[in-house]
Amino acid sequence: MIPPIYVKPFVKRQKNDMADAEAIAEAASRPTMRFVTVKTKSQQAQSMVFKTRDLLVRQRTQMVNTLRGHLAEYGVVAPQGVANIKQLADKINDGMTNIPDTVRTLGAMILEQIAFNNDRIKELEQDIHKSARVDENANRLMSIPGVGPITAMAVQAFAPSMEHFRNGRGFAAWVGLVPRQMSTGGKTILGKTSKMGQRDIRRLLIIGAMAVIRSAIRKPPMEGTWLHHMLLRKPRMLVAVALANKMARMVWALTTKKEIYHSPVPVN
């Protein structure tokens, strides 16, 4: 299987089945062509767990935002976030709150659906954590700061075998944690992050990197480390993406070398 974006340059004029078949045959014959790795049944099943969890999280977010929007029309407000939904529930159940009975009934219905999604999400996360505990490579990856059971199992589910990549830089590029290049005439021009890779793993790595940065802000990292230097000179979000890139390279290194993470040594 070949990604359609790699076949498109070989399509000649017009769009029909014959031109597409010719382009596919021409693209497949290229010595440097990149092909899609076929996933195992186990990987497909595990990826469905993550996709289902993401769907439930999106639905929960939609319902929370819907409830907040409707109640705000009656002056009932609460801070954003799922963690603050209890404040809205208390105001709905409070008979002294000046809202119509219809709004109170519909609000309770939405709260029930949010609670149902919460239970399903927790069940899926428990299954992911259980799988991570018995997976040898997942335990290696969880030794990396910012990589938890969900990120480790996402790598197992979505990423091909690490032997497909020549080095950690190749895996980081596959994930989409490298800048877009517009280089020409021997001049290197780098732009924003390409975001052309595996978005599930990329998102989880950036979330994990942000958690590491928040921890570093509360408890500053050891002086002389890479993270310490970066936080002194660069914005947090830029450091998060750069750290996520380093984490992707660590994932490749630990998986291929069968080792665990070791804390960095300060450099003067």
**Is 117 within 8 Å of 59 (Cβ atoms)?**
yes
What b/e string do you get for 60-73 counting C-beta neighbours within 10 Å, with b at 16 or more?
beebbeebbebbee
**pLDDT single digits (tens) 126-156:** 999 999 999 999 999 999 999 999 999 999 9
pLDDT over 70 percentage in the chain = 98
Output the 3-class SS for the chain: CCCHHHHHHHCCCCCCHHHHHHHHHHHHCCCCCCCCCCCCHHHHHHHHHHHHHHHHHHHHHHHHHHHHHHHHCCCCCCCCCHHHHHHHHHHHHCCCCCCCHHHHHHHHHHHHHHHHHHHHHHHHHHHHHHHHHHCHHHHHHCCCCCCCHHHHHHHHHHCCCHHHCCCHHHHHHHHCCCEEECCECCECCEEEECCCCCHHHHHHHHHHHHHHHHHHHHCCCCCCCHHHHHHHHCCHHHHHHHHHHHHHHHHHHHHHHCCCCCCCCCCC
**pLDDT single digits (tens) 21-54:** 999 999 999 998 888 888 888 889 999 999 999 9
pTM: 0.84
C-alpha Rg value of the chain to the nearest Å: 24
Q: Which amino acid is present at 5?
A: I
- The residue with greater pLDDT, 36 or 66, is 66
At 227, is the pLDDT very low, low, confident or very high (cuts 50, 70, 90)?
Answer: confident
